[in-house]
Structure 1
Amino acid sequence: MLVRKALSSVVAVGVAVAAALTIAPSAAHAAYTPEGVCGSGYYVQRSYPLPGARVYQLYNGSSNCVVTIKTASVGTPTRTTAALQVSGSDWSTDTGDYRYYAGPVRVPAAGKCVRYFGYHGGTSYTSPWGNCG
């Protein structure tokens, strides 16, 4: 009887661990939002879908932030880029083989036009200039 009870406990723990491992990638992905990655006070101004990701441009009243959040191959390192350019300045870029997202790229931009860039899954996107002022 004691062996059966111990075996039952081991099986229950094994099932719980397997369930946690199955849920973990989805839970990890759900934990990453554009606002959460960029920080308190930022809100989404524009976004664009890429294969297996979405690039977001956010603003908090004085600075812009760009992040590219993966929606596929989450947890697996894949080439991902987030970049931001303020009119009159060079690009600020974060690129690498990331598991969940690239960025945040934050740049002060009050009163200036900005454009953003994202890359994932072999496709890139450069937004038009916008959000001026």
Structure 2
Amino acid sequence: MLALASIATMATATTASAAPARTTAAYNGACGSGYSVVNSVPVSGKGTVYLTYSAKTGKNCVITQRNSTGKAVHIYAYLETTEPNSTTVQDRGNYTSYAGPIYLVAKGRCVNWGGTIETVGADISGSNCGRLAAGTVTHR
């Protein structure tokens, strides 16, 4: 009986350790209720930049979120329309988990957005023009 219990314990331990490690954190809801993720871009092993949208307000929202919280590091998030002389909305600082949320009314307009975690960044240009669209991704 003891041998059977040991075998069952080993099988359970093997199954648990075989599970893949989660490498990205799910969107944390920081933009608030009514905002849904419409696009995202990874920040090379460090986190993800999320673009969300609220149909009720016509606003886009961006956060740059780390994969896991920890010691405060430089995190940056930005959002702007693609129109000439567009104002860039941004948040930067040393944070433990995310930068933002930042908001911009951009209903039916294309946006540029992105972020940085420490020294690694990602940007998307000319995306989400009133609908889900890929845009051009640049990693920096």
Q: TM-score, normalised by structure 1?
A: 0.70
Amino acid at match of 1:81: Y
Task: Determine if the alignment matches structure 1 residue 119 to structure 2 residue 134.
Answer: no
Identity %: 36
| Distance in 2, Cα, partners of 1:109 & 1:56 | 16
Distance 2:94 2:50 in 1: 18
Q: State the partner residue of 1:18.
A: none
Instruction: Name the residue aligned to 2:30.
Output: 37
What SS class does the counterpart of residue 126 from structure 2 fall into? Answer: coil
Q: Is the 8 A contact 2:31 2:101 kept in 1?
A: yes
**Structural mapping, 1:82-93, within 5 Å:** 82-88=77-83, 89-93=86-90
User: d(CA) in 2 for partners of 1:132 and 1:100?
Assistant: 29
Q: Judging by fraction of residues, say which structure has more helix.
A: 1
Instruction: Provide Cα deviations, 1:30-66, integer angstroms capped at 9, x if missing partner.
Output: 7x834x2001011111111113111000111100000
Q: Which runs of 5+ in 1 are unaligned?
A: 1-29
- Runs of 5+ unmatched residues, structure 2: 1-24, 131-140
Distance in 2, Cα, partners of 1:80 & 1:42: 21
1:75 CA drift (Å) = 2.9
Equivalent residue, structure 1, for 2:104: 107
Take 1:103 and 1:87, find their aligned partners in 2: how far apart are those partners? 20
Q: Measure the CA separation in 2 of the matches of 1:121 and 1:42.
A: 26
TM-fit CA distance, 1:107: 0.6
Partner of 1:67: 63
After TM superposition, the score normalised by the length of structure 2 is 0.67
Distance 1:130 1:53 in 2: 20
- State the alpha-carbon separation in 1 of the partners of residues 101 and 93 from structure 2: 12
Name the structure 2 match of 1:129: 126
**Does structure 1 conserve the Cα–Cα contact (< 8 Å) formed by 2:27 and 2:50?**
no
Following the alignment from structure 1 to structure 2, what is the Cα–Cα distance between the partners of residues 54 and 113? Answer: 20
1:80 has 2:75 as partner: yes
Cα separation, 1, equivalents of 2:61 and 2:101: 6
Counterpart in 1 of 2:8? none
